[in-house]
Structure formats: C-alpha cells, structure tokens
Amino acid sequence: MDAEYADIAVIMGITGAMLSMLGMGLLIAYYGSSKTRNVGFLFLIIGLGLGYYLATSGSDTVELHNSLLAFVGGMLGGILGIIAFLVAIIKS
C-alpha cells in the first residue's frame, strides 16, 4: 500500500474511533448511573485524548478536511440508499 494511503487509513481510523468514543461517551455519561456514568466519562476522556493526538501529531500529507468530506458523503449516500430501499418496499 502507498505510504500516503496508509497515513490516511491510520488517521481516519483514529478519527472514526474518536467520533464513536465521543458520541457514545456523551450518551453514556448523560444517561448512565453511577458506575456506567463513570465509564461514560472514561470514554469521553479517551475520545478527547484521541482528538488531541490527531490535532498535535499526524502526517501533513493527509488532508483531513477532504477525508472527512468523503466520510460524510459515504454515510449520507448509505442513508439515502436505505431510504430508497424503504420507499421501494413500502410502496409495493
């Protein structure tokens, strides 16, 4: 694999993990109780740590804005595809 692609894969992999940690951490920290809430705060801290790592280090060759654009585009496309499937099934 090209070094550039490897950089992109690593950076975007960490970004994805950070997003899920922050999202789930927020939900768990808000709705959880006692022990579960503490775990939620731990996830939040891990997510923030990953974000700090991404902000301070990482290859300059990776254009994160474009990579995020691709990720958002892919997710949106997937959602639109599923909506098309649901429309086709429900209308039949």
Partner 1 sequence: MNLSMTFDDWAVMDFFISMLIVGIGIALLATGLFTSYFGAGKSQKIGFGLLFSGVAILVIVYALTFEAGLGVADQFNEKEFKQALVSGIAALAGMMTGMFVILFVLMKVDTVDDLEDLDLEDLEDLDLDEELKKLEEELNGADSDEPAGKEKAQEEEE
Interface residue list for partner 1 (CB under 8 A): 4-5, 8-21, 24, 28, 33-36, 39, 42-43, 54-55, 57-82, 84-85, 88-89, 92
Query: Mutual orientation of helices 3-31 and 64-91 as an angle, nearest 10°?
Result: 60
Please report how close the Cβ of residue 50 comes to partner 1 at its closest, in angstroms. 9
The CA distance from 20 to 14, in Å, is 10
Which residue matches tokens 């585009």?
Answer: 73
Of 30 and 33, CB closest to partner 1: 33
Please report how close the Cβ of residue 30 comes to partner 1 at its closest, in angstroms. 15
